[in-house]
Amino acid sequence: MEALLFDFLKVTELAAIASKPWVGSGDKIAADDAATTAMRRQLNAMNMQGTIVIGEGEIDEAPMLYIGENVGTGRGGPAIDIAVDPIEGTTPTVNGQPNAITVIAAAPKGTLLHAPDMYMKKLAVGPRAKGKINIEASLEDNMIAVAKAQNKKISDLTVFIQQRPRHQEYIDEIRDIGANVHLFNDGDVIYATSTCMEDLNIDMFFGIGGAPEGVLGAVAVRCLGGEMQAKLIPRNETEIERCLEMGITNPNEALSHSQLVQTDECIFAATGITANLFLNGIKTGNGNYLTHSILVNGKDQQLHYIESMHQILETA
């Protein structure tokens, strides 16, 4: 796995570069297609036996990295589970707004949650509050536990939650308890990961969003020493059946961090498309692209910020 660390970084860098021309374009499909095509090309050049275990859903007419897709040369190399989002934040990408990244996570085969593209409730904290949270408990109980772990008053807690109608009751509850709610529009993975970056002073991430983003965030948080718990939210019998088909025998159970990602032998890479809390967006000039990325693996739990200059040659 560690031998492929910089290969996975290149996957996100090239996907971000491919999406750059579509920043501000308003064309979501073209942006997604560009990033997905670049990701697939690079993944298929890697000497591994990779499988997308959670991502864009089932195969259909649109190009995508779909659940169950095999990637890599297949000629030797490790067998790897991959979670992927070619563009986390397609809307901000095509609107020229902050909080767009390309992101990938990987771990040995059989160690990442294999689940449909569906809704998931998520709760994440940094290393100081690891072992103190319980997604089945009330928000108030979790906030009390996190405040104690952080040696803070409830009134000093900062909780990030996505600004969506489905979250209004949680937003009201957090404020009623006395903590500070910071809302964001896009960037689920960004804000889950940011709980583990002490300089950002984010105590908790909570909300309901996509399961692929949940697994991606879980890998990042594990790599950085924090904790994430989650719970799938099936909306109908079809989603329940898909869970059962994919080996999830109880789709309604709370998922511990070790059920989301079972090993410290995991990799997380993300490259900024537009600027966000901890990454700069792509900068261009003189035919060059300057990318800003993070790269981390669970074994050393060290966060690496990487700037790379890419010269893109025009082809006829």
Q: Do 182 and 223 belong to one domain? A: yes
Q: Which domain holds residue 223?
A: 119-260
Q: Does the annotation place 209 within a ligand binding site? A: no
Q: 60 among the known binding-site residues?
A: no
Q: Phi/psi at 211 (nearest 5 deg)?
A: -65, -40
Q: Is 166 annotated as a binding residue?
A: yes
Confirm whether residue 187 is marked as ligand binding: yes
Q: What is the CATH number of the domain that holds 220?
A: 3.40.190.90
203 is in an annotated binding site: no
d(CA 256, CA 113): 11
Residue 246 has what pLDDT?
92
Whether pLDDT at 59 is above 80: no
**What is the number of domains present in the chain?**
2
What average pLDDT does the segment 256-279 reach? 97
Q: 112-158, pLDDT tens digit by residue?
A: 999 998 999 999 999 999 999 999 999 999 999 999 999 999 999 99
Task: Determine if residue 50 is labeled as part of a ligand binding site.
Answer: no
Residue in 174, 158, 36, 159 with CA at minimum distance from that of residue 103: 36
pLDDT at 202 over 60: yes
- Mean pLDDT for 35-48 is 96
Q: What is the pLDDT of residue 316?
A: 36
What is the mean pLDDT of the segment spanning 247-254?
94
96: number of CA atoms within 13 Å, CB side?
Answer: 4
The CATH number that applies at residue 270 is: 3.30.540.10
128 & 198 share domain: yes
What is the average pLDDT across 292-299? 96
Query: Annotated binding residue at 217?
Result: no
Q: What is the pLDDT of residue 64?
A: 76
Is 214 found in the same domain as 307? no
Gap between the Cα atoms of 46 and 34, Å rounded: 19
Residue with tokens 């099936």: 234
How confident is the model at residue 169, as a pLDDT?
A: 97
Mean per-residue pLDDT, 165-179: 97
- DSSP state, 164? -
Note whether 217 and 284 are same-domain residues: no
- Asked if the structure places residue 316 within a domain, the reply is no
pLDDT of residue 275: 97
242 is in an annotated binding site: no
Does 272 belong to an annotated binding site?
no
- Establish whether 21 is an annotated binding residue: no
Q: Is the pLDDT of residue 283 over 70?
A: yes
237 is known to lie in a ligand binding site:
no
Could you please report the per-residue DSSP string of 288-310? EEEEEEEEEETTT---EEEEEEE
Same domain, yes or no, for 246 and 123?
A: yes
Is 198 known as a binding-site position? no
227 labelled ligand-binding: no
Label residues 268-298 b or e (16+ Cβ within 10 Å = b).
bbbbbbbebbbbbbbeeeeeebebbbbbbbb
Residues 234 and 286 in one domain: no
Res 313: pLDDT: 62
Q: What is the pLDDT of residue 298?
A: 94
Q: For 61-77, write each residue's pLDDT tens digit.
A: 555 788 999 999 988 89
Q: Is 56 among the annotated ligand-binding positions?
A: yes
> 93 labelled as ligand-binding?
no
